[in-house]
Amino acid sequence: VRQPIIAIDGPAGAGKSTVTRQVADKLGLLYLDTGAMYRAVTWYVLECGIPVQDETHIAQFLKTCQIRLEPQGDSPQCRVWVNQHEVTQAIRSPDVTAQVSTVAAFPAVREFLVRQQQEYGAAGGLVAEGRDMGTQVFPDAEVKIFLTASVQERARRRQLDLEKQGYEVSLSQLEAEIAQRDQQDSTRPISPLQKAEDAIEIQTDDLTVEDVVSQILSHVPSD
Ligand code: C5P
């Protein structure tokens, strides 16, 4: 039997990475962070000095952009390479974060990455997180989850994350950035952030990571 695909979508900072990684570990399935892939392309675009608005130029450069993801220990974040460069840290920089939604809106970029994402899931046995896992990339996923949290709570969580990586950013700035990224991701014409009709929504403001993980696991069919 095919192992299940679990699709986890939601806005920035809803806790997707931590939860997805733990669900994957508990079930012994592969973990796929598709946000890291969009970030990797964005890092490459910036590194090559291509203006982030220049869709035609970006589309051409995709041919020379090879992305590789590899789980690392217990960390919710994969190790990520673009060609021979390790970009695990670099793709979390405020610069990449500020530009990624612009790059992720381009059809050529989405086609390029969605194809790779579907290859990861071709044999099933995957927990994938992103914005369009349940709606576009894995519409037949066995379990679809939509994680949400208030902007305030997500900004607070992002701030803790960033502090651990040595970045200091104010809460109000993070709230503004998150709200802007939500707006960009939800209103783009292609694959906007959207809850799939058959997704289970989990509002995580008052839940612990363990609570969320066990709720998700309770929806996974055993066998
Ligand atoms: O999840 P993360 O915050 O790392 O995602 C970064 C950005 O990548 C999102 O804000 C969104 O613009 C884009 N993204 C996307 N589709 C996905 C995953 C991420 O458009 N499946």
Using CA atoms, how far residue 148 sits from 10, 65, 200, in Å, is: 6, 32, 11
Give the Å distance between the CA of 218 and the centre of ligand 1. 26
Ligand 1 center from residue 217 Cα (angstroms) = 24
Q: Is the CB of 39 under 6 A from ligand 1?
A: yes
- Res 159: pLDDT: 92
pLDDT (0 to 100) of residue 106: 97
Sequence-separated (6 or more) residues with CB below 8 Å from residue 10: 16, 131, 145, 146, 147, 148, 193
**Terminal-to-terminal C-alpha distance of the chain:** 8
Atom of ligand 1 nearest to the CA of 42: 8
**Residue 82: how many CB atoms within 10 A of its CB?**
20
How large is the greatest C-alpha to C-alpha distance in the chain, in angstroms? 49
Among candidates 169, 165, 8, 167, which has minimal Cα distance to 88?
Answer: 165
Q: What is the pLDDT of residue 223?
A: 67
Residue 35 Cβ < 6 Å to ligand 1: yes
pLDDT at 12: 87
- With a 6 Å cutoff on the Cβ, whether 181 touches ligand 1 is yes
CB 32 within 8 A of CB 114: no
Distance 105 CA to ligand 1 centre (A): 10
For position 208, what pLDDT does the model report? 95
Question: What pLDDT does 44 receive?
Answer: 98
* Residue 99, pLDDT score: 96
* HEC readout, the chain: CCEEEEEEECCCCCCHHHHHHHHHHHHCCEEEEHHHHHHHHHHHHHHCCCCCCCHHHHHHHHHHCCEEEECCCCCCCCEEEECCEECCCHHHCHHHHHHHHHHHCCHHHHHHHHHHHHHHCCCEEEEEEECCHHHHHCCCCCEEEEEECCHHHHHHHHHHHHHHCCCCCCHHHHHHHHHHHHHHHHHCCCCCCCCCCCCEEEECCCCCHHHHHHHHHHCCCCC
Q: Are 104 and 38 in contact (CB under 8 A)?
A: yes
Question: Model-level pTM?
Answer: 0.93
pLDDT in the model for residue 9: 97
- Reading the chain (223 residues) residue by residue, the pLDDT tens digits are 789 999 999 998 898 999 999 999 999 999 999 999 999 999 999 999 999 999 999 999 999 999 999 988 878 788 999 999 999 999 999 899 999 999 999 999 999 999 999 999 999 999 999 999 999 999 999 999 999 999 999 999 989 988 988 889 999 999 999 999 999 999 999 999 999 999 999 999 999 999 999 999 999 988 6
Yes or no: say if 144 and 200 are a contact pair by the CB < 8 Å rule. Answer: yes
The dihedral sign for the CA sequence 129, 120, 79, 127: positive
Please give the pLDDT value at position 94.
87
